[in-house]
Structure 1
Amino acid sequence: MSTLVTGIGIAVAGVGAPGDLLRPRQPESAPVEPRERLGRKGLRYKDRATQLSYCAARDALAEARLLDDDGRALHGDRIAVVASSNYGNLDTICRTVETIAAETASAASPMDLPNASSNVLASSVAIRFGLTGPNLMLCNGETSGTDAVRWALALLGSGRADQVLVLGAEPDTVAARKLTGQDTAFDGAAALLLETQRTAAARGARARAGIGGHARGAGLADCLAGLGSHDARTPAAWQAPDTTGTGGVPDGVGTGMPDGAGVLDGVRDLGLARQWRGASGALGVLQCAASAGWFAAGGASPVYAVTGGGTSGPAAGLVLVGPGEAG
């Protein structure tokens, strides 16, 4: 039985809908301005990744019809949050450490210290929208966003929550650029509202896509084999991972990529990792949103969404199906 995606929110420059993620990236697009989308209230002293996550989370909850007129979640005690970010509050941490090293701990800003917590993104979103279910934060490298969806499936399957808000966010900050060695960094967030078929049907929620399975393996071949065990059909399309370690996918992917991807010879690569380089912990969540855009445009099922799988790291993947098959 598929888990349903009933709400999607995206806060990425030049992206107004999930289908836009599959179109050529517009580098001249202005960065997302959270104050224009949310107003100023509650944004002061919040880091960039948290502000972007607020935008995406609000839109996903609203689309799933889980927000009241005051911007608080309906039945928030049964909604969990699982967030993913590898560089989210890195700028705050670096700034705080530099201040303490140059002066003393007493010189650190009391406004910065809460944002130095490793789970600040997940907890801040939960507080803003009144989501008091389980709360998890992942910082797990290239597979982090995909792993966040996997943890959401586990929470739903165990009955710990009726819905799970999954977030992936990475900010374009000086600290992120220094760490990655890139001239520019990805700047954006995506959110998914996940729930079971039974819960969605009970409240008349509309599915945007379904998640039919998850797999993780020591390499790309193991991961793809695991995805095939969930859905034996040849994928209609796949979202290839970044195997270069720099956010890009080599030319010719899907026609003999190392480590087992040759089993997908001839399968269309939707190219998200190439389009949105450096998305890192947000990539797996963006892939799910983009798959919903693929289905909305008439794309067939299933779609494999895969992250990781480089020469020295594991791979994680999801099987996504269209709303007609999911609900």
Structure 2
Amino acid sequence: MSTTSTAHMRNPNVREVAVTGIGLALPGVATYGDLLGPLPGEGGFDPATGLSGRELRHKDRASRLALRAAEFALHDAGLTDADATFTGVADATAVVVSTNFGNADSICEATDTIAREGVRGLSPLGLPQTSSNVIAGWVAIRYGLRGPNLTICNGTTSGLDALAWARNLIVAGRAEAAVVVGVEPANEVATRLLGEQSTDAAVAIVLESADAAASRGARPRATIAGYARARDLAAALTSAGVTEEKSVGLWLVDEAGADACQLLAATRQIDLEAQLGPLSGALGVLQCAAAAAHLESDATTGNVLATAGGPHHDAAAALLLTP
């Protein structure tokens, strides 16, 4: 996604898009308010008990984490009933997933099986897990969501890119709402690819047009005001609308960007990966959840900026959120 879409996102004539639901499947974090720190380090989601159940059978770990986070987010948004059945407009609800390592373990398992036994050794129950869009597909199937459905696998900026894609679908009229999921699993394959211990992390954000949210009495937590992806962080910030005149009360940063911008040097910073471990594709979506918590707790201290990427990456992305 280029920076050319950013001007359209800041156009006051387009529909506003708000965060109306948040769900976490993140060990040691009970609520999204905990993301503002210090983290409790205990409680919250327990993978040992939270990833079991009939509806989660024969699914890869990332899909199971994503389904739990989506369940919590849709409930939080008031879009499911007592039986966890979706009550929104299914034909107009999109699913956008951000993950970089999501089903890599399933793909490795399938290729190892083919090497040992040939294609006849593959299980028909496991083969669907090798699809690049399997996580988004399972979320859509579980809730009968028939809007646009896609997966973003875009490196360090993936989570912020997914939020921007979902917002654009709503602004363009392709959807009235979107479930955005950022998810990464803790398994041997992800750990080998990362070069360090991977983290179980799933977060889901429900985005809706402000009109749709107001029509059903939903409570908006934050509004996406600007987004840009560029070759460096300074260019991304400029295109996203971050200026000296526009107050930023909290900067959700990653290690790559922490020392790359003098404009925000005095702004309060939170680096979620420093506290939780590597988040990869889940980072940007988790930053959005933390931004909503900040804006709910103290909206008078300015907007929230989330960034990912920087000098050591091939791109940087910036997302600006307002009350």
Q: Residues 34 and 51 of structure 1 are in contact (CA less than 8 Å); yes or no, is this contact kept in structure 2?
A: no
Where does residue 281 of structure 2 map in the other structure? 281
Match status 1:84 vs 2:98 = yes
Q: Which residue of 1 aligns with 2:26?
A: 12
Q: Is the 8 A contact 1:217 1:314 kept in 2?
A: yes
Contact map agreement 2:21 2:206 (CA 8 A) in 1:
yes
What SS class does the counterpart of residue 236 from structure 1 fall into?
strand
**Cα deviations by residue, 1:278-326 (Å, 9 ceiling, x for unpaired):** 100000000000111112322522111001123341111111112xxxx
Cα distance change of structure 1 residues 291 and 92 upon mapping to structure 2, 3 Å threshold: same
Matched, 1:179 2:202: no
How much has 1:230 moved relative to structure 2?
A: 8.4
- Equivalent positions of 1:1-327 (< 5 A) are 2-25=16-39, 32-33=46-47, 35-36=49-50, 40-74=53-87, 75-182=89-196, 184-228=197-241, 232-243=245-256, 253=258, 257-258=259-260, 261-298=261-298, 300-322=301-323
The 8 Å contact of residues 242 and 310 in structure 1, kept in 2 or not, is answered as: no
Give the number of equivalent residue pairs. Answer: 307
Q: Which amino acid aligns with 2:206?
A: L
Q: CA deviation at 1:179?
A: 0.8
Q: Secondary structure at the match of 1:226?
A: helix
Identify the range of structure 1 (299-308 vs 145-154) with the bigger mean alpha-carbon deviation.
299-308
Q: Structure 1 CA distance, aligned partners of 2:175 and 2:244?
A: 26
1:141 and 1:36 mapped to 2: Cα distance? 27
CA distance in 2, matches of 1:231, 1:67: 42
Partner SS state of residue 55, structure 2: coil
Maintained 8 Å contact 2:93/2:176? yes
Q: In structure 2, the residue corresponding to 1:238 is in which secondary structure? A: strand
Q: Output one character per residue of 1:7-60: Cα deviation in whole Å (capped at 9) or x when no partner.
A: 0001100111111122234556686337547x6121111111111111110111
- 3-state SS, counterpart of residue 211 of structure 1: strand
TM-score under structure 2 normalisation?
Answer: 0.90
Deviation of the 1:68 alpha carbon = 2.7
Residues 49, 170 of structure 1: 8 Å contact kept? yes
Residue identity matched to 1:195: E
SS of 1:42's equivalent in the other structure is helix
Gap regions ≥5 residues in structure 1: 244-248, 323-327
Amino acid of the residue matched to residue 121 of structure 2?
Answer: A
Q: Which amino acid aligns with 2:199?
A: F
Gap change, CA 1:138 and 1:217, over 3 Å in 2: same
Measured in 2, the distance between the counterparts of 1:88 and 1:201 equals 34
The whole-number CA distance in structure 2 between the counterparts of 1:34 and 1:195 is 32
| Pairwise CA RMSD | 2.0
Q: Distance in 1 between matches of 2:254 and 2:283?
A: 9
Contact 2:93/2:177 (<8 A) preserved: yes
Percentage identity across paired residues of the two chains? 42
- C-alpha deviation, 1:242, in angstroms: 3.4
1:136-168, CA deviations, whole angstroms, 9 ceiling, x for partnerless residues?
111111100100001011100111111011000
Structure 1's consecutive aligned runs of 4 or more residues displaced over 3 angstroms after TM superposition are 24-31, 34-37, 229-232
Gaps of 5+ in 2: 1-11
Distance 2:213 2:175 in 1: 13
